């Protein structure tokens, strides 16, 4: 089988023998697609707690095998990736711990890292390396049908190995993500949680909130909100369509950092609100001018094409 177009080079020799993917949502199924297409593991086994998802994964021919349980999937695996909601990582680690072999690398893909490190570490058997990972990539879709192999292309993947983690295990985990065309960065789990609180968690919370506010309006109908969404609202709805269980767990697991960012956000919003109420155009203009610099940085870094280029191609 040859892919019509390859987004990353296919390996001649697989990186891992047995790869176990626990949890078959958007991320899990995307890893399955990419790892198979790019020959990152000799044998790819998936599992999910939901029997319907396991059935669907078999229909989709994800990986090489769909096991009936996490335990069965993790047995003798060289690389185990937990792709379950952040709040479930501890329990799954506890469940599979008895079958993890020495030298295996346990990893995850959670959007919060410190809570995962704390939940997983107590269950880690001697000789198993724990290298937490967070691919900063996603779409508004979830479930086993949502995955596609190039999801991680040119996206960052942050590794947050606890101090003292085996360097070779970190290097192999890096190779795994770089093999799927991600760009890897290493940082501490607590710093990760602070960075993501502002770049991802707070934006999601705000988006979920504003879409809820719009839904509750009586004076403006939902069909009007939908019709005229191109004025800015649309982008919020995309973010607010993300998986509810995943995001519930993120906010519960990164509570401190999110509350801190929310506090700052509210203080700043109070200032802008006051400027609107008292007709202080100068304060508004000054604020709206300085926020342009960050945008220029993002476009310059190639994390997004300038919007006009995309629109002109319609």
**Residue 183, SS3?**
strand
Distance CA 138, CA 147 (A): 9
CB of 264 to a second copy, least distance (A): 5
Task: Identify which of 168, 53, 60, 57 has the alpha carbon closest to the alpha carbon of residue 104.
Answer: 168
The correct pick among 104, 137, 159, 169 for binding a second copy (CB under 8 A) is 137
Task: Identify which of 79, 303, 45 has the alpha carbon closest to the alpha carbon of residue 174.
Answer: 79
Task: Identify which of 3, 180, 52, 8 has the alpha carbon closest to the alpha carbon of residue 107.
Answer: 180
| Residue 3 interacts with a second copy (CB under 8 A): yes or no | no
| Residue 150 interacts with a second copy (CB under 8 A): yes or no | yes
Among 50-58, 73-81, 124-132, 239-247, which window interacts with a second copy (CB under 8 A)?
Answer: 239-247
Residue nearer to a second copy on the CB measure, 13 or 215: 215
The correct pick among 98, 140, 168, 171 for binding a second copy (CB under 8 A) is 140
Task: Identify which of 130, 184, 173 has the alpha carbon closest to the alpha carbon of residue 40.
Answer: 173
- Count of residues engaged in binding a second copy, rule: CB under 8 A: 110
Residue nearer to a second copy on the CB measure, 16 or 251: 251
The correct pick among 18, 113, 114, 204 for binding a second copy (CB under 8 A) is 204
Distinct helix (H) and strand (E) counts, the chain: 15, 9
The correct pick among 151, 159, 169, 180 for binding a second copy (CB under 8 A) is 151
Q: What does the per-residue mask of binding to a second copy show for 61-80, with x meaning CB under 8 A?
A: --------------------
DSSP helix, strand, coil percent of the chain (3-state; round to 5): 55, 10, 35
Both tokens assigned to 248: 């519930």
Distance of CA 244 to the CA centre of its chain: 13
CA distances from 303 to 89, 107, 136, 153, 294 (A): 30, 25, 12, 11, 12
CB of 2 to a second copy, least distance (A): 17
Both tokens assigned to 193: 């949680």
Residue nearer to a second copy on the CB measure, 126 or 267: 267
* Span 100-119, contacts to a second copy by CB under 8 A: 111
* Span 169-188, contacts to a second copy by CB under 8 A: 185
Q: What does the per-residue mask of binding to a second copy show for 12-51, with x meaning CB under 8 A?
A: ----------------------------------------
Distance CA 113, CA 117 (A): 6
Both tokens assigned to 66: 């769909």
Name the H helices within 131-280.
Answer: 167-179, 189-196, 202-216, 222-227, 233-239, 244-253, 255-277
Among 32-40, 42-50, 56-64, 148-156, which window interacts with a second copy (CB under 8 A)?
Answer: 148-156
Residue nearer to a second copy on the CB measure, 42 or 148: 148
CB of 71 to a second copy, least distance (A): 26
Distance of CA 128 to the CA centre of its chain: 24
The correct pick among 156, 166, 186, 188 for binding a second copy (CB under 8 A) is 156
| Residue 290 interacts with a second copy (CB under 8 A): yes or no | yes
Both tokens assigned to 235: 């982008």
CB of 80 to a second copy, least distance (A): 24
């Amino acid at each position: 089988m040859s892919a019509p177009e390859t987004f990353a080079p296919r390996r001649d020799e697989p990186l891992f023998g047995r790869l176990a993917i626990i949890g078959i949502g958007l991320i899990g199924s995307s890893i399955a697609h990419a790892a198979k297409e790019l020959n990152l593991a000799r044998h790819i086994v998936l599992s999910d707690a939901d029997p319907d998802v396991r059935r669907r994964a078999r229909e989709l021919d994800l990986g090489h095998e769909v096991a009936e349980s996490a335990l069965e999937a993790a047995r003798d695996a060289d690389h185990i990736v937990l792709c379950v909601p952040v709040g479930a990582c501890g329990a799954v680690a506890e469940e599979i711990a008895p079958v993890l072999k020495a030298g295996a690398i346990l990893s995850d893909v959670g959007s919060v890292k410190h809570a995962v490190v704390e939940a997983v570490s107590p269950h880690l058997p001697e000789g198993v390396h724990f290298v937490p990972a967070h691919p900063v990539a996603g779409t508004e879709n979830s479930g086993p049908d949502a995955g596609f192999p190039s999801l991680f292309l040119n996206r960052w993947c942050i590794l947050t190995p606890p101090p003292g983690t085996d360097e070779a295990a970190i290097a192999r985990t890096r190779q795994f993500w770089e093999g799927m065309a991600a760009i890897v960065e290493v940082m501490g789990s607590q710093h990760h949680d602070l960075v993501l609180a502002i770049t991802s968690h707070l934006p999601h919370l705000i988006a979920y909130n504003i879409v809820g506010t719009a839904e509750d309006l009586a004076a403006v109908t939902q069909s009007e909100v939908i019709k005229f969404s191109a004025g800015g609202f649309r982008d919020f709805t995309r973010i607010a369509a993300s998986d509810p269980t995943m995001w519930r767990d993120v906010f519960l697991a990164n509570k401190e950092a999110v509350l801190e960012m929310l506090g700052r956000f509210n203080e700043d919003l109070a200032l802008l609100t006051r400027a609107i109420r008292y007709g202080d155009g100068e304060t508004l203009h000054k604020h709206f001018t300085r926020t342009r610099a960050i945008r220029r940085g993002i476009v310059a870094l190639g994390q997004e094409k300038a919007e006009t280029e995309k629109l002109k191609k319609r």
